[in-house]
A and B are shown apart, each in its own frame.
Chain A
Amino acid sequence: MIEYRNVKKSYGGKQIIKGVDLTVEKGEFVVLIGPSGCGKTTTLKMLNRLIEPSEGSIWINGADHREMDLVKLRTSIGYVIQQIGLFPNMTVEENIAVVPRIMKWEKKKTLDRVKELLNMVNMPYNEYGRKYPKQLSGGQQQRIGVLRALAVNPPVILMDEPFGALDPITREILQSEVKKIQRELKITILFVTHDMQEAMKMADRIVFMDQGRVLQQAPPKEMLLHPANETVARFIALQGIGSRTDRITAADLMQQASGLAAGEDSVTVEAEEEVKEICQKYDLSKYRRICVKDSQGLLIGEITVGSLLEHLTEWM
């Protein structure tokens, strides 16, 4: 179990993490999400002490992580980043064996483990073991990045936008692979992304951060349907609209009705307006209803914000 207790981080008087409390259960898949610069990476890196907290403490299985041996701490926490970070001077085999080597595993044991891991992602040792990262595709490289993090079976893995640089198809495949491995091996994963779709797919719990604070922690569906506040709602609304919502208009979603009246709790939009634009234009967390008018300005139907969110969930 991992516990962040009122963790703060300042750089030169500027506080960028403003008191994070976060508990991650063993085997849980927690996704940190939030706008760029909100402190996701910093929060992650404080766990393996690439960054030291300025205040507060982090506890791992009941021990203050600053009192743990640094090498032990780090070798027990896998680390995967967007830039992949494979060592270009090392072969695939050597890259995967980095942590086993630090932990002074026997050669035979390491080799067996490398082979086993490569088999897990269908990249046979004989074909790929001696290749250099540059000789692999981006997707293959990131697979190796993940395998390297898994090498010594660490109980915890940190992933910082690991699939951010991959094409959508490869990303989806890798997401599934990681989710499957995580479930099977019951690894605790802290995963950073700013892609809501990815968060929805991967997370047991989503932690929404903004400006160095945690705004909401909830399972994916719950966050989607009950965003704690405006910022979360807007972020979800903006992200919910992937390509699948292109060209879906207000008219497509509205319930026809007559005798409607716009009010404090509603916004009024044109029938032809795209849902995507509506989400971007209005802060929907402030309203309950969206009234739809035709070209003559007559109200012809309405969409409840709740039903819109439900649709967005489906489309993700």
Chain B
Amino acid sequence: MSWEMVLEHIYMVVVSCSLVILIGVPLGIFAYCRPQAGRIILTVVDLIQTIPVLAVMGLLMMMFGANSTTAVISIVLYLLLPIVRNTNTGLNSVSPILKETADAMGMNRLQRLVRVEFSLAFPFILTGIRIAFVTAVGVAVFGTFVGGGGLGSMLYRGIRIQNFELILKGTLTLMVMSVFFDYLLGFAEKKCGGAHEKVEK
């Protein structure tokens, strides 16, 4: 196992997740503010996820060539679902009473969105982000087929030459990585998301 592969893998995960947050959260918010367009967005995002990752990567490789960009874009497309959906669900779950109260206080649409709706939806969004990171670790394995490198190449080689040790090492590393992201973001979720949920007695 080379550190280079691990770094390549982490690179794909972190870059794609950052991108998907930057794209997915606003998309989720937009889908919430414009419910008609929102239904279309959610359906499309849903559909994208039903296409096998490998197929998406193959298609994109023809456009962008065999490199890590192709891998990253594929992962981003694949991860839009948890981010967009969780953002949207979170916003929709904000109690209508609170929304009306915000209006009654005199908040304008943007103030209400930022101070009330988004803020209350934030724990949901964080959950989406956590799911995205953990999923990304797995999905990035396919990156190797489109020139993205990463731990996928180790697994692939292990399978090709039937090297049990190689497969095991690759798998364990991936698991550690997943657990790491899961834990880190779970911690963040507890820390930021649930500050007001905590009841001190």
Partner-B contacts on A (CB < 8 A): 48, 50, 70-75, 77, 79, 81, 83, 85, 87-90, 98-99, 102-103, 131-135, 148
Contact = CB atoms under 8 A, between A and B. Distances in A.
Interface string B179-201: 00000000000000001111110
A50 B122 CA distance: 26
Interface of B: 97-98, 100-108, 111, 115-116, 119-120, 122, 195-200
Contacts, number: 66
A48, A89, A133 interface centre (most CB from chain B within 10 Å): A89
B105 A74 contact: yes
A117 to B, nearest CB: 15
Contacts of B122: 89
Given A99-B105, A133-B196, A50 B100 contact: yes
Given A87-B102, A102-B105, A132-B195, 10 more contacts: A81-B97, A85-B97, A87-B120, A88-B120, A88-B196, A89-B116, A89-B120, A89-B196, A103-B106, A135-B200
A83 B105 CA distance: 15
Q: Main SS of the interface on chain B?
A: helix
A85 B106 contact: no
Contact of B97 (A73, A74, A83, A98): A83
A87 B199 CA distance: 15
B196 A79 contact: no
A87 B98 contact: yes
B132 to A, nearest CB: 23
A48 B103 CA distance: 9
A178 B90 CA distance: 36
Contact of B104 (A72, A79, A83): A79
A134 B197 CA distance: 7
A22 to B, nearest CB: 20
Contact of A74 (B98, B103, B195, B200): B103
Contacts of B97: 81, 83, 85
Nearest to A51: B100
B195 A79 contact: no
B97, B106, B197, B198 interface centre (most CB from chain A within 10 Å): B106
A26 B115 CA distance: 33
18 contacts: A50-B100, A50-B103, A75-B105, A83-B97, A85-B101, A87-B116, A87-B119, A88-B98, A88-B196, A89-B116, A89-B120, A89-B196, A90-B196, A98-B107, A98-B115, A102-B111, A103-B106, A134-B196
Given A83-B97, A87-B116, A89-B119, A134 B199 contact: yes
Contacts of A134: 196-199
A70 B107 CA distance: 10
A282 to B, nearest CB: 40
A88 B122 CA distance: 13
Nearest to B100: A50
A98 B105 contact: yes
A35 B93 CA distance: 31
Nearest to B101: A85
Nearest to A48: B104
A141 to B, nearest CB: 13
Contact of A102 (B100, B107, B120, B200): B107
Nearest to B99: A85
A132 B105 contact: no
A136 to B, nearest CB: 10
Nearest to A94: B115
